[in-house]
Each structure stands twice: as structure tokens, then as C-alpha cells.
């Protein structure tokens, strides 16, 4: 056996290994795989993209969460920045290198003047960015509250409503909640063994508080109580965050608006009756 014949199998194994790396290695240079270039100003723009079919429902919910939570240019990790739309890992690494060089980013516009990002990319992510105040006072407090309602003409019932808000104080403490007023959801659903069927009380206005949390997050400790999402292991071990690179917990106070068609006021089934109880309502 010659030396050349000994080397050929080794070269074939090396070539196979390189090919396998090329096939199975993650494409770290690409941007997070949203369906299209995302350029929006608010949640209504995201909803328009979703209604038009340009982005999926999962992408819509991911970006809504991201917009409400915000990404702090001065505190975000590499994975946090990568969740922003239209950014590749090369862009993210350039932002981190610039942040390390200047110490603190006071205005995102400097990323363009420094050649870190082009203007189109920066404008597309601007609505997702948060710039923290340098040396924020311990007693400084800020927050927001949002109220939403849906109604239609000739609707005699109290309209469905949603109220959510969050507050940041003590530099590292964040509090948040989301409440809703339901009006048609059945109540006290239970199994009736005599009828061998489910029964429930008619729906009526009901106040619910499905989301609430308190979170402390500083350089040493991260503590959360209430509703949250959590993910580890690059979405392979455990994840319900909708982030592409989850690593820890995230506050959850999000209630998503859904596009629904108008329906009749009566939602009762026929059951043992001869005719529908909703016949006179439609």
C-alpha cells in the first residue's frame, strides 16, 4: 500500500467532515428568519402585515412582544440584539464592538454616522429600540397604560375591553399587568352525568386578570414573580418565548388582538330542544 493510498481515505473523511459542518452548522451570518423585511412604526403596522399575509401569526406575536418590551442598546446581549428584525450576526457584533469602544450609546443615530448600520436598517428597527438614561436615578419612575375596546353598531351588550400597563422604578424594578372584560365566555362549565353532556351558565360581563408580574433585573440578580415566558437551549431544550435565541425568562403581559367576524348574540346549542334557542335572534 502506497502513502498516497493511505492519505486518500483520510482526505475523503476530512472532506465529509467539512461538508457536514457546512450542512449542519447554523447560518450565523443571516438575520433572524422573519418572512420579509420588517419596517414598521407601531403595532398597527405589524397587524397590517399579518392581515395581508406578509408575516405569520407567530412572527406577529414575536414582534409585538419585542416592540412592547423594547431592546436596550446599552444592556442587550448578543442574542437579545439578534431578535431585532433585519439584523445579521455581523450587524450585531458591529453594534457590540461600537458599544464597547464608546462606552455608552446616547443616540441610535450614531450607529449610522459611525458606519455600523446603514440608515434603512436603523430606521427599520427604531420602533423596537430603547435607550436607557445614563446614571438613572433610583427614584425615577416611568410607565405607560393602554386601553382598548371593540364595538359594533346595534350591539346592545357592553363591549369587550382590555387594559394593560407597566411601570419601571427603583432603576431595576418593573411591574406590569393586563386585564380584560369578557362578555360572551360561558361560565361554570361542568359535566352533567344525567344528560351525558356539558352544561354551562350563560355568558355575561366578567372581569379577568390573566397577566401580571413583578420583575427585578440588575447586574447580579434576575427575579420574576407572576406570569412569564422562559426558554433555554437554543429553542431545543425548553422554550415558549417565541424568541429565536432564548436564554432565560421574559415578562409576559401580552394580550393579542385577533381579527374576528361578527356573530349572533345567542351562542346556545340545541341540546334536547326540538329547535335552536337562537332561531329568533338571527
Residue 159 · residue 171 · CB < 8 Å: no
Q: Give pLDDT, residue 94.
A: 97
> Helix, strand, or coil here: 34?
coil
What are the sequence ranges of the domains in the chain? 25-135, 137-258
φ, ψ of residue 210 to 5 degrees: the values are -75, -20
Q: Give pLDDT, residue 2.
A: 39
Q: Is the pLDDT of residue 112 over 90?
A: yes
Q: Is the pLDDT of residue 246 over 80?
A: no
Overall pTM > 0.85:
no
Between CA 158 and CA 209 the distance in angstroms is: 18
Beta strands in the chain (DSSP E): 71-72, 129-130, 142-149, 161-169, 173-182, 187-192, 197-201, 206-217, 222-226, 228-232, 238-239, 248-251
- Please choose, from the candidates 61, 99, 102, 104, the residue with its C-alpha nearest in 3D space to the C-alpha of residue 83: 61
* Torsion over CA: 152, 56, 93, 229 (sign): positive
Task: Identify any residues that bridge with 163 across adjacent strands, giving them in sequence order.
Answer: 147, 179
Among the residue ranges 137-146, 257-266, 267-276, the one predicted with the least confidence is: 257-266
Convert the pLDDT of each residue in 32-79 to its tens digit: 678 899 999 998 899 899 989 999 988 898 898 888 888 989 988 898
Q: DSSP letters along 189-247, please?
A: EEEETTTTEEEEEPP--EEEEEEEEEEEE-SS-EEEEESEEEEEGGGTSEE-S--SS--
Q: Give pLDDT, residue 236.
A: 59
Place of cell 412582544: 65
- C-alpha cell recorded at residue 220: 447580579
Between CA 110 and CA 88 the distance in angstroms is: 19
Write down the number of H helices and E strands in the chain.
7, 12
Convert the pLDDT of each residue in 168-224 to its tens digit: 888 889 999 999 998 878 888 899 898 888 888 887 888 999 999 999 988 888 899
Amino acid at each position: 500500500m502506497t502513502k498516497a493510498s493511505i492519505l486518500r481515505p483520510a482526505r475523503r473523511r476530512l472532506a465529509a467532515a467539512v461538508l457536514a459542518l457546512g450542512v449542519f452548522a447554523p447560518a450565523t451570518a443571516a438575520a433572524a428568519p422573519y418572512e420579509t423585511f420588517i419596517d414598521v412604526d407601531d403595532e398597527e403596522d405589524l397587524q397590517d402585515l399579518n392581515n395581508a399575509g406578509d408575516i405569520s401569526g407567530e412572527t406577529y406575536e414575536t414582534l409585538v412582544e419585542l416592540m412592547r418590551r423594547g431592546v436596550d442598546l446599552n444592556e442587550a446581549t448578543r442574542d437579545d440584539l439578534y431578535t431585532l428584525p433585519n439584523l445579521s450576526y455581523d450587524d450585531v457584533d458591529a453594534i457590540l464592538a461600537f458599544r464597547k469602544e464608546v462606552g455608552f450609546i446616547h443616540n441610535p443615530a450614531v450607529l449610522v454616522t459611525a458606519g455600523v448600520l446603514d440608515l434603512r436598517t436603523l430606521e427599520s428597527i427604531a420602533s423596537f429600540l430603547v435607550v436607557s438614561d445614563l446614571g438613572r436615578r433610583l427614584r425615577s419612575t416611568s410607565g405607560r397604560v393602554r386601553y382598548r375596546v371593540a364595538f359594533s353598531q346595534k350591539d346592545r351588550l357592553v363591549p369587550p375591553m382590555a387594559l394593560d400597563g407597566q411601570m419601571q422604578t427603583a432603576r431595576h424594578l418593573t411591574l406590569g399587568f393586563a386585564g380584560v372584560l369578557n362578555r360572551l365566555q360561558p361560565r361554570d362549565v361542568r359535566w352533567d352525568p344525567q344528560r351525558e353532556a356539558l352544561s354551562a351558565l350563560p355568558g355575561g360581563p366578567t372581569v379577568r386578570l390573566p397577566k401580571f408580574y413583578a420583575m427585578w433585573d440588575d447586574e447580579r440578580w434576575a427575579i420574576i414573580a407572576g406570569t412569564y415566558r422562559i426558554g433555554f437551549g437554543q429553542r431545543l431544550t425548553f422554550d415558549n418565548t417565541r424568541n429565536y435565541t432564548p436564554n432565560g425568562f421574559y415578562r409576559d403581559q401580552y394580550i393579542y388582538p385577533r381579527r374576528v367576524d361578527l356573530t349572533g348574540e345567542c351562542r346556545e346549542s340545541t341540546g334536547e330542544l326540538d329547535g335552536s334557542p337562537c332561531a329568533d335572534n338571527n
